[in-house]
Amino acid sequence: MQHHGGTYASPVATSGYALHPSQQPAVYVYQGQKYSDFHQLQAAMQQAPLPVAPVAPASAPWGEALKDSAALERKVHELFVQYAGADRKLDPPELHGLAVCVGQQLGVDPMAFGDVRTLFHRFDFSGDGHLDEKETLNLIQYMLRVHRDLQRKRSAQLAQKPHAPDFTAKSIPFKQVETVFDLQKKLGQGGQGAVYLAAERSTQQKRVVKFYDKTCANAPVEDIVEEFKLLTKLDHPKIARVYEVFQDHAYIYVVSEPYFGGDLTTCAQRASENGVALNQHWLAGILRQVCAGILYLHNNKCMHCDIKEPNVMISGDSDWHAPNVVVIDFGLARDFKKYSTGVMGTPGYMPPEVWMQGIWTIYGDVFSMGVMFYNLYCLHQRKAFEGRTVQQLQAQACQLAVDWQPLSNCLSFQHLVQQMMQPSFKARPKVEQVMMHDWWREAGKEETSPISNKAISELGKLRQTSDLHRALMTDMVGRENLTQLKELNDLFASMDVDHSGTVTEAEARQALKNKMPATEIERLVSTLMGDKGSLTYSRFMAEMIAAKKAENDEVLWRMFKELDVDNNNSLDANEIRAMLQKQKVREIMADRTVTDVMDKMGLNRSGSVSFQDFKRALETVQNESQVQDSSSGSSQLREGDKVQYFSSSYAMWMDTTIVALDSTTGAMQLQCKPGYWLPPEEQHKVLRISAFNSQELSNTAFGYATVSAINVPLMDAIAAEMVERIEAGAADNQALSNTAWAFAKCELYYEPLHEAISAAAIRRVSEFVPQGLSNLA
């Protein structure tokens, strides 16, 4: 995962941007003083007084940037445009200028962030020798976290007490683990805490619950929460699925998908016991799945930082001829690990640059994979590094003391592993290059397996469904144990040729070519993709599960009962509102109001929704989208129009304004993306019309309340829209206070709105004028 561990600096004597274990011993210089030990340098940085901060531009205070993702994205964009130049990419010298600028605005020595050359490679996830805007955003987030952590350590030193993470109910929900789960079997016990196989009491679904001791937290709680948000967004069949995280007073609990076949440590032995011939074809089938999972992480600006056999699980315990594997144990796990080495990773798998410089890059993951490839080829009879102590393993890794003789009977595999374990990380291949090596062809695993006739038959059952049906199915699938559905996973893998976790129209057409008539292929592509042009893993699984008509009524009833909180076999307005607050539902139904959905289900006519009403609404297919397609593009929009822009970096909608339109091309510029022309073909994917801003919404509610003209459907719609704007940081203090007063005046209580206003008001209470505080009260 994105690695936000301790601060690392590199020797100032190093030339160029490659790090190599043959360099001279490190010499660090800080404020004119030389240090030969990195930990002495860190101590000096933490104890040194902060320099006086220069006056930062009024529009760009960095201090609160970590708390406001939309504001941070805008600030990074401004800085990126300033330093990246015409090619919209940062090279190392440009990054150095950016780091100095951020350091000056924060009032700290840029060396506090670590060596800029090291940082560059750490965040160059694409491996192209440049940083794009998303990579730069990740880098600046890291720099701000380093600054925050140094400030906290200094404050703790002044107070003469250790700094402890502030785990609060607002950051991570509080639950009693035994109230929610039946802990059935203890799977393991480590320094972080125990791991249990459990059953969710409400659904009886099997889960794995990991206990993380809060006293072992090696990262601030804000980072842990951000890691969890990222983990839940990862959507790939070869990456472990995380369902939720919660806490009590002693532990943080992470709930994930269970796997029943053990890990790669025992995989070969169990396969052999089940009569499987352990040849290169079998091994390549496993290793290619690992590569696909790690490639997906890297493409999503993530690193694993602890690849080894125990962190690759076998999903089931029946198909040992072609085991289905899943990569686990990244992200949150790292934030609770404290190794005696002081850096992240497992001795025996860590690359030289981690031992010597404390730097993890995507190429460090490739090195660890190379070690694992070696060990698995030798069936764990031999290991790449045979040291018995940490010191011995460190020396062997830094000197690359590997006996290559056990691989000599397959020179192409030996060559691949040697490339992956090159001493200099810049000499190693990227994961996609690993997957293009000749060895895969020799082992018979160069390409994805073709689609089976049974899978073609399943695809033929697909029928178009409503947005609401897709939204609820995707939400349900997000809580299912999908790795057990091997045939559907194999079908997705056969279509996802580039292992991106998304199937495009072109990939689907190519995979289905010559498998069915062209007209049927086009129907399936249209049904699967809709107007989005691609399909994520979860959406694909939702569509395929929904396609099984014999099970559809059972699935719909299960959805209905999950929403029926009071168990009266009908849905009321509050239950419909709660449905629309589900993350996956909001993503698909983003342009629907509560009133729209109530009307469709007939609730406003009868006061409640029966199962038949619910089923009818889900099975009704209409052209529901309110977003303009690219053919109309910007022709219906004008400069100054208020719209909402979907930020892929933060996966949320942001209020903004159209500031310029090109009448010739149809491209537009938005206030939140200065200098960037959004082409017409992208507009329908990332824009939606925002007829009212937060101030206008609150004024509307305020006006109706003032004259006691209570319009419940209108107030429901305003409430739903205001919640989105508050959570996106797009509602000012006056909008908050006016909205609170209006709903109180009308005696309407809308829980999500109440919670959103309360949370925002608590954060900003010192900013309110007296009248605003009065309205809030």
- The two three-digit tokens of residue 607, written as one number: 């006061």
Give per-residue pLDDT as tens, 461-484. Answer: 676 667 777 778 777 777 778 887
pLDDT at 109 over 60: yes
Q: What integer pLDDT is reported at residue 217 of this predicted model?
A: 64
Q: Which of 103-107, 198-202, 371-375, 577-581 has the lowest mean pLDDT?
A: 103-107
Q: What integer pLDDT is reported at residue 16 of this predicted model?
A: 29
Task: Look at residues 524, 509, 521 and name the one whose alpha carbon lies nearest to residue 464.
Answer: 524
Q: Delineate the domains of the chain, giving CATH numbers in brackets.
A: 28-158 (1.10.238.10), 177-256 (3.30.200.20), 264-442 (1.10.510.10), 453-619 (1.10.238.10), 633-689 (2.30.30), 694-776 (no CATH)
Give per-residue pLDDT as tens, 237-252. Answer: 999 888 888 888 888 8
Q: What integer pLDDT is reported at residue 179 of this predicted model?
A: 93
- Return phi, psi of residue 754, to 5°: -60, -45
Angle at 327 between CA 506 and CA 413, to 5 degrees: 80
**161 vs 721, more confident:** 721
Q: Which of 73-82, 353-362, 748-757 has the lowest mean pLDDT?
A: 748-757
- Please, what sign has the CA dihedral across residues 538, 542, 543, 547? positive
* Cα 296 from Cα 275, distance rounded (Å): 32
**39 vs 306, more confident:** 306
**Residue type at 539 in one-letter notation:** R
pLDDT at 650 over 80: no
Q: What integer pLDDT is reported at residue 692 of this predicted model?
A: 59
pLDDT at 192 over 70: no
Query: Could you tell me if 32 and 3 are in contact, meaning their C-beta atoms sit under 8 angstroms apart?
Result: no
Query: Could you tell me if 258 and 326 are in contact, meaning their C-beta atoms sit under 8 angstroms apart?
Result: no
Stretch 213-233: mean pLDDT: 69
CB count, 10 Å around CB of 519?
8
Residue with tokens 């059935």: 184
pLDDT at 559 over 70: yes
Q: What integer pLDDT is reported at residue 56 of this predicted model?
A: 40
* Cα 55 from Cα 52, distance rounded (Å): 9
* Cα 77 from Cα 54, distance rounded (Å): 21
Q: Which of 107-111, 133-137, 373-377 has the lowest mean pLDDT?
A: 107-111
Residue with tokens 């109309």: 632
Provide the H-helix boundaries in 621-693: 680-686
User: Facing residues of 263 across strands?
Assistant: 313
Provide the H-helix boundaries in 274-400: 280-299, 352-357, 362-377, 390-399
* Cα 593 from Cα 576, distance rounded (Å): 11
pLDDT at 622 over 60: no
What element of type H or E holds 93? helix 92-106
Q: Which of 84-93, 292-301, 409-418 has the lowest mean pLDDT?
A: 84-93
Highest mean pLDDT among 114-128, 298-312, 712-726: 298-312
* Cα 331 from Cα 242, distance rounded (Å): 11
Q: What integer pLDDT is reported at residue 196 of this predicted model?
A: 93
Q: What integer pLDDT is reported at residue 592 of this predicted model?
A: 67
* Cα 759 from Cα 777, distance rounded (Å): 14
pLDDT at 625 over 50: no
Q: What integer pLDDT is reported at residue 477 of this predicted model?
A: 77
* Cα 568 from Cα 572, distance rounded (Å): 10
11 alpha carbon, distance to own chain's centre: 33
Long-range contacts of 406-410 (CB under 8 A, 24+ apart): 406/374, 406/377, 406/378, 406/382, 407/374, 407/377, 407/378, 410/280, 410/377, 410/439
**182 vs 757, more confident:** 182
pLDDT at 64 over 50: yes
* Alpha-carbon torsion angle 435, 441, 447, 450, nearest 10: -160
* Cα 60 from Cα 144, distance rounded (Å): 13
**331 vs 82, more confident:** 82
Q: Which of 126-140, 297-311, 676-690 has the lowest mean pLDDT?
A: 676-690
Q: What integer pLDDT is reported at residue 406 of this predicted model?
A: 95
Q: What integer pLDDT is reported at residue 389 of this predicted model?
A: 94
User: Tell me, what DSSP letter sits at residue 90?
Assistant: B
Compute the mean pLDDT over every residue in the chain, rounded to the nearest whole number: 77
Q: What integer pLDDT is reported at residue 569 of this predicted model?
A: 87
* Cα 685 from Cα 683, distance rounded (Å): 5
Query: Could you tell me if 618 and 476 are in contact, meaning their C-beta atoms sit under 8 angstroms apart?
Result: no
Q: What integer pLDDT is reported at residue 582 of this predicted model?
A: 80
pLDDT at 103 over 60: yes
Expressed in percent and rounded to 5, the helix, strand and coil fractions of the chain are: 50, 10, 40
Band of pLDDT at residue 199, cut at 50, 70 and 90: very high
Task: Look at residues 475, 469, 470, 562 and name the one whose alpha carbon lies nearest to residue 203.
Answer: 562
Query: Could you tell me if 315 and 484 are in contact, meaning their C-beta atoms sit under 8 angstroms apart?
Result: yes
Band of pLDDT at residue 32, cut at 50, 70 and 90: low
Task: Look at residues 268, 257, 326 and name the one whose alpha carbon lies nearest to residue 296.
Answer: 326
The structure's pTM equals: 0.67
- Return phi, psi of residue 764, to 5°: -115, 15
Give per-residue pLDDT as tens, 561-576. Answer: 888 888 888 888 888 8
User: Tell me, what DSSP letter sits at residue 174?
Assistant: B
Q: Which of 215-224, 370-379, 459-468 has the lowest mean pLDDT?
A: 215-224
